[in-house]
């Protein structure tokens, strides 16, 4: 059996995992499933941190965005 590694950084819109209903988009890079691969996307994490630094998001809003609870 061959096991392939998938580089999720190559996707503009990431493929959905069957058990989740969330959509990964540039506007919503994180979903509610904390075990999902989206929570390891360093670019999205850095961008969210920059929004906090720029005053566009509060730290609470950034936390809700990261946990997929931002509406």
Reported as a single tens digit per residue, the pLDDT across 13-67 is 555 555 545 568 888 889 888 888 889 999 999 999 999 999 999 999 999 999 9
Give the pTM: 0.64
Residue 32 backbone phi and psi in degrees, to 5: -75, -20
Question: How far is CA 16 from its chain centroid?
Answer: 12
The dihedral through the CA atoms of 24, 30, 31, 36 has a sign that is positive
């Amino acid at each position: 059996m061959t096991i392939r590694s998938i580089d999720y950084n190559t996707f503009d819109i990431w493929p959905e995992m069957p058990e989740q209903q969330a959509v990964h988009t540039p506007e919503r890079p994180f979903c509610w499933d904390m075990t999902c691969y989206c929570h390891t996307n360093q670019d999205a994490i850095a961008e969210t941190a920059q929004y906090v630094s720029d005053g566009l998001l509060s730290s609470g809003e950034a936390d809700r965005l990261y946990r997929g609870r931002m509406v």
